[in-house]
């Protein structure tokens, strides 16, 4: 019996790296192009789930299973943007400075027959109180570019984090425990 093909609905090198930790190599990369704007009054948890689901559906294929995910940084009920410019990254870091926030990572696996399996991970992250110099130094690194909440935990920002309660891989962009469970249920992983 041949193993089912896995299509990753993401161009993120981090997601490919994290999948490799599970011993999984996608047969194809097919980034989903969808509108990622939150709906009016949409809560962070609902938004994260919807994004994972919509990305999987947008990349649907009869050639294999589609794995999609999304990572959302939330301060209370507020969904922080993916930082596309330095001013946005600065605002995010100033908001997160000295406080706890949630990182919600959804993962969805869509089978060729339309069966959709979904999981969500919630991790709590707390930054130290950041000085203006620390923020400026982090911004100069450029790591914030395109990152939810304006930071990448797998880089220099990790040295600014006081605590993390939950999944480090989830904050990086793909919750491995949940992803492993979905892949195992679909026959991609044994044992």
φ, ψ at 115 (rounded to 5°): -70, 125
Structural domains of the chain, count: 1
Query: Which of 70, 113, 132, 145 is flagged as catalytic?
Result: 70
Instruction: Report pTM.
Output: 0.93
Residue 190 falls within a domain, yes or no? no
In angstroms, the CA 54 to CA 175 distance is: 18
Residue 53, pLDDT score: 97
What is the per-residue pLDDT for 3? 57
> Is residue 128 in some structural domain?
yes
Q: Which domain holds residue 179?
A: 6-185
- How much is the pLDDT for 24? 94
* Confidence (pLDDT) at 189: 82
Residue 15 maps to a domain: yes
Look at residue 1 in the predicted model and tell me its pLDDT.
Answer: 44
- Answer yes or no: are the C-beta atoms of 123 and 170 closer than 8 Å: yes
Residue 63: per-residue pLDDT: 87
Dihedral, CA of residue 44, residue 48, residue 159 and residue 87, to nearest 10 = -70
| Low pLDDT (below 50) residues in the chain | 1
Query: CB–CB of 77/46 below 8 Å?
Result: no
Tens of pLDDT, residues 34-62: 999 999 999 999 999 999 999 999 999 87
- Domain assignment present for 191: no
Return the ∠ at Cα 148 (arms to 110 and 33), rounded to 5°: 45
- Does 135 fall in a domain? yes
Is 145 marked active-site?
Answer: no
Write down the pLDDT at residue 2. 56
Domain assignment present for residue 1? The answer is: no
Which residues, at least 6 apart from 73, have a Cβ–Cβ distance to it below 8 Å? 79, 80, 92, 96, 101, 102, 103, 148, 149
The CATH number of whichever domain residue 109 belongs to comes to 3.90.950.10
Of the candidates 100, 120, 114, 118, the residue with the CA atom closest to the CA atom of residue 167: 120
Please name the residue that has the structure tokens 């797998």: 154
């Amino acid at each position: 019996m041949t193993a089912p093909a896995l299509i990753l609905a993401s161009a993120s090198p981090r997601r490919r790296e994290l999948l490799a930790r599970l011993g999984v190599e996608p047969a194809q990369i097919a980034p989903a192009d969808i509108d990622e704007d939150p709906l009016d009054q949409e809560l962070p948890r609902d938004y994260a789930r919807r994004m994972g689901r919509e990305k999987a559906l947008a990349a649907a294929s009869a050639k294999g299973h589609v794995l999609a995910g999304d990572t959302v940084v939330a301060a209370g009920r507020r969904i922080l943007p993916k930082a596309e410019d330095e001013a946005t990254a600065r605002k995010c870091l100033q908001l997160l400075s000295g406080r706890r926030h949630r990182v919600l990572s959804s993962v969805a696996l869509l089978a060729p027959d339309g069966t959709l399996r979904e999981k969500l991970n919630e991790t709590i992250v707390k930054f130290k109180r950041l000085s203006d110099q620390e923020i400026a130094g982090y911004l100069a690194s450029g790591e914030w570019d395109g990152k939810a909440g304006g930071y990448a935990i797998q880089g220099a920002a990790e040295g600014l984090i006081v605590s993390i309660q939950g999944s480090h891989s989830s904050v990086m962009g793909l919750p491995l425990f949940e992803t492993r469970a979905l892949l195992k249920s679909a026959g991609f992983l044994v044992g």
